[in-house]
């Protein structure tokens, strides 16, 4: 009971945080002044696009760490963490790619370019689709967890290398993550930008907690069913 109470609090908190983030991003945040007026509304996507990207990387990092912990301690808990987090990561990766693509149309006048970040994110999406394909084609639970953990480690480690290798081609993506220059944002925007990132991180924690809770429930049902049949 205590656990589900904690979940309710977490759910409520992240609902409020996301609502506030929406308000701040869409209404409170000032227009960007250093770009042509036609694409100023589109610029607001930064408050969703960047947090999504950040959360997806956070999620895959959690999967990576949980995979190592699973191999180390052989405990179901870490496998549940790994797969739950990877699922959320896929959702946010897709959100990142789609929101970026929508922004790219007015800003770059194309839905798609082979920019390092775009390409890397597409590869990341493919990596974790492969991760779930691997899981899906193994029936035995412990082997599934072991193999997925190994793949989760390889996949995560390859991402920075992929990014580096594609980056050495020309890039037109704005370099935003430079904290020294206020993330390249104007007055009144930086705080909102940071807030939306925090709100999305809280959303990630909430989704992960719910997902893990659900997985434990599913495990319990499976165990009960086995006992009833056996």
Chain residues binding another protein by CB under 8 A are 71, 123, 126-127, 130, 133-134, 137-139, 143, 146-147, 149-151, 153-155, 157-158, 161-162, 164-166, 168
Other CB atoms within 10 Å distance of the CB of residue 11: 15
Could you please report the per-residue DSSP string of 53-119? HHHHHHHHHHHHHHHHHHHHH--HHHHHHHHHHHHHHHHHHHHHHHHHHHHHHHHHSSS----HHHH
Eight-state DSSP code of residue 24: I
CB of residue 151 to another protein, shortest distance in Å = 7
Cβ closer to another protein: 60 or 195?
60
Distance in angstroms (rounded) separating the CA atoms of residues 55 and 212: 17
Distance in angstroms (rounded) separating the CA atoms of residues 209 and 162: 30
Cβ closer to another protein: 162 or 213?
162
Cβ closer to another protein: 51 or 152?
152
CB of residue 167 to another protein, shortest distance in Å = 10
Cβ closer to another protein: 126 or 223?
126
Find out whether 153 and 68 touch, Cβ atoms under 8 Å: yes
Cβ closer to another protein: 108 or 163?
163
CB of residue 121 to another protein, shortest distance in Å = 12
CB of residue 92 to another protein, shortest distance in Å = 18
CB of residue 64 to another protein, shortest distance in Å = 11
Eight-state DSSP code of residue 32: P
């Amino acid at each position: 009971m205590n656990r589900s109470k904690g979940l309710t609090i977490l759910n409520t908190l992240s609902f409020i945080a996301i609502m506030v983030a929406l308000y701040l991003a869409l209404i409170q945040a000032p227009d960007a002044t250093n770009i042509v007026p036609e694409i100023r509304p589109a610029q607001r996507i930064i408050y969703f696009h960047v947090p999504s990207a950040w959360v997806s990387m956070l999620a895959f990092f959690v999967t990576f760490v949980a995979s190592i912990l699973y191999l180390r301690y052989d405990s179901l808990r870490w496998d549940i963490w790994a797969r739950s987090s990877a699922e959320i990561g896929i959702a946010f990766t897709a959100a990142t790619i789609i929101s970026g693509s929508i922004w790219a149309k007015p800003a770059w006048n194309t839905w798609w370019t082979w920019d390092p970040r775009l390409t890397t994110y597409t590869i990341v999406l493919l990596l974790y689709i492969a991760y779930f394909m691997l899981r899906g084609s193994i029936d035995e639970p412990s082997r599934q967890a072991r193999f997925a953990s190994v793949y989760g480690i390889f996949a995560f480690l390859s991402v920075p290398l992929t990014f580096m290798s594609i980056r050495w081609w020309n890039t037109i993506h704005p370099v935003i993550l430079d904290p020294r220059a206020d993330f390249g944002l104007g007055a009144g925007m930086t705080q909102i930008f940071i807030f939306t990132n925090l709100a999305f991180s809280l959303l990630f924690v909430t989704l992960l907690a719910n997902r893990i809770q659900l997985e434990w429930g599913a495990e319990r049902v499976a165990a009960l069913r086995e006992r009833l049949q056996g």
